[in-house]
């Protein structure tokens, strides 16, 4: 049994709940909302595994939903996005996009797919928590498509982007690829804030040099005190916060 919440237009909410009861008996509805603003207020206090979005969202409401998504572990299905910007914001986090009109068969297939993902995620978290370390001392990144294992020694730095974190790392072969920011790094985006990775990686030799940057100390080659920049082994230049400069120097010297 999984818990689900629905954000749906008032005119079609009853039909949708009926489809869930008839075709998805393993789903228990623990919240039904016809107002996106009210839903954003109530959702943080609810425990749920699945969210079905059928309401148009303003951009700020979509951003709030993404923050909630990064803080809670749940799957998301959607039938509607109010505009292209909202669709782009949600696209990487929605497991299933449902076309209208929604039938019981479509809902059944979508819920079955989501259940498989929930089971896989729960199994993984029983073994080890997401974005933590496995026995080989790799950082484990759980994406929608795969589990990515990154050796800590190959991680250059982590960058905060809203409620997400971009993790830049070297290729295992040592060959370089240009990403437009640094000279020799690959990048994967994780749906966790930088604070999470700071807590995980501090004991592995990483240090926060800026509100938006967490760096592998072993990758630091130059600390430019005049420009307040940190230069990494691959040539990447990162900003150094003045309030964090002293702590960095103490760690490095």
CATH of the domain at 240: 2.40.50.1020
Tell me: do 64 and 105 sit in the same domain: yes
Are residues 155 and 89 both part of a single domain? no
Confidence category of residue 248, pLDDT binned at 50, 70, 90: very high
Rounded mean pLDDT, 5-23: 94
Domain that holds residue 50: 2-127
Check: CB of residue 140 under 8 Å from CB of residue 132: yes
Pairing of strands 50-53, 96-97: unpaired
Q: Above 90 in pLDDT, residue 1?
A: no
Q: How many independent structural domains does the chain possess?
A: 2
Query: pLDDT for 202-243, tens place per residue?
Result: 889 999 999 999 999 999 999 998 899 999 998 999 999 988
What tens digit of pLDDT does each residue of 103-143 get?
A: 999 999 999 888 877 776 665 454 444 455 555 578 888 76
**What percentage of residues in the chain have a pLDDT greater than 90?**
43
My answer on whether 72 and 110 are in the same domain is yes
Predicted confidence at residue 126, as pLDDT, reads 46
- The whole-chain average pLDDT of the chain stands at 84
> Which residue do the tokens 């990048």 mark?
187
Task: Determine the pLDDT at residue 177.
Answer: 43
Angle between helices 84-91 and 59-71 in degrees, nearest 10:
10
Let me know whether 147 and 220 are in one domain.
yes
Q: 12 in a domain, yes or no? A: yes
**Residue 133, domain member (yes or no):** no
The radius of gyration of the chain from alpha carbons, rounded to an integer in Å, stands at 21
pLDDT score recorded for residue 108: 92
Q: Does residue 111 lie in a domain region?
A: yes
Q: Are residues 163 and 120 in the same domain?
A: no
What's the pLDDT band for 99 if we cut at 50, 70, 90?
confident
Q: Give the tokens for residue 205.
A: 């030799």
What is the CB neighbour count within 10 angstroms for residue 174? 8
Q: Please give the span between the terminal C-alpha atoms of the chain, in angstroms, as a whole number.
A: 55
- What CATH number did the domain enclosing 109 receive? 3.40.50.2300
């Amino acid at each position: 049994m999984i818990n689900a919440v629905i954000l749906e237009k008032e005119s079609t909410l009853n039909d949708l709940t009926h489809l869930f009861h008839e075709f998805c008996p393993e789903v228990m509805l623990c919240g039904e909302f016809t107002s996106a603003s009210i839903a954003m207020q109530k959702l943080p206090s609810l425990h749920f595994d699945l969210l079905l979005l059928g309401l148009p969202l303003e951009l700020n409401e979509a951003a709030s939903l993404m923050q909630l998504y990064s803080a809670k572990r749940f799957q998301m299905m959607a039938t509607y996005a109010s505009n292209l910007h909202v669709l782009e914001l949600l696209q990487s986090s929605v497991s299933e996009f449902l076309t209208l009109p929604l039938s019981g068969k479509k809902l059944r297939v979508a819920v079955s797919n989501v259940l498989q993902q929930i089971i896989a995620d729960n199994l993984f978290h029983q073994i080890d928590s997401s974005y933590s370390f496995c026995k080989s001392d790799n950082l484990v990144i759980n994406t929608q498509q795969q589990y990515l294992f990154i050796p800590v020694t190959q991680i250059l730095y982590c960058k905060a982007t809203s409620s997400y974190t971009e993790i830049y790392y070297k290729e295992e072969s040592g060959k370089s690829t240009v990403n437009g920011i640094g000279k020799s790094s690959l990048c994967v985006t994780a749906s966790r804030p930088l604070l999470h990775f700071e807590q995980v990686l501090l004991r592995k030799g990483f240090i926060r040099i800026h509100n938006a940057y967490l760096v592998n100390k072993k990758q630091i080659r130059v600390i430019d005190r005049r420009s307040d920049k940190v230069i990494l082994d691959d040539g990447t230049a990162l900003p150094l916060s003045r309030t964090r400069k002293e702590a960095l120097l103490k760690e490095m010297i």
